[in-house]
Amino acid sequence: MGDPRKTRKHFKRPLKIWDRSNIEREKALKETYGLKNKREIWRTETMLRKKRHSARSLLALALEERLKRESNLLRSLARIGLLNEKATLDDVLTLNVESFLERRLQTLVWRHGLANTAKQARQFITHGHIAIAGRRVTAPGCIVTAEQEGKIGYYAGKKMVLKPVAKEKKPAKKKEGTEAEKKGIREEAEKKGIREEFEAAKPPEGKPAKKKEKKTKKEKKPAKEEKTKKEKNQPKKRRPKKKKGEAE
How many C-beta atoms surround the C-beta of residue 114 within 10 A?
Answer: 20
Q: Can you give the pLDDT at residue 164?
A: 76
Residues in a beta bridge with 135: 132
Q: Lay out the sheet containing 135-136: strands in order across.
A: 135-136, 130-132, 152-154
**How close are the terminal C-alpha atoms of the chain, in Å?**
129
Tell me, what DSSP letter sits at residue 133? T
Tell me, what DSSP letter sits at residue 75? H
Q: Can you give the pLDDT at residue 129?
A: 93
Q: Can you give the pLDDT at residue 157?
A: 80
Query: pLDDT higher for 193 or 77?
Result: 77
Whether the per-residue pLDDT at 67 is higher than 80: the answer is: yes
Whether the per-residue pLDDT at 189 is higher than 70: the answer is: yes
Q: Which domains does the chain have, with CATH numbers?
A: 9-99 (no CATH), 104-161 (3.10.290.10)
Q: Can you give the pLDDT at residue 66?
A: 87
Q: Rounded to whole angstroms, how far apart are CA atoms 192 and 123?
A: 61
**Confidence at 199, pLDDT banded by 50, 70, 90:** confident
Total length of the chain: 248
Mean pLDDT of the chain: 81
pLDDT tens-place string over residues 88-132: 888 999 999 999 999 999 999 999 999 999 999 999 999 999 999
**Confidence at 168, pLDDT banded by 50, 70, 90:** low
User: Which of 43, 3, 35, 46 minimizes the C-alpha distance to 121?
Assistant: 35
Whether the per-residue pLDDT at 75 is higher than 80: the answer is: yes
Host H or E run for residue 46: helix 39-59
Q: Can you give the pLDDT at residue 159?
A: 81
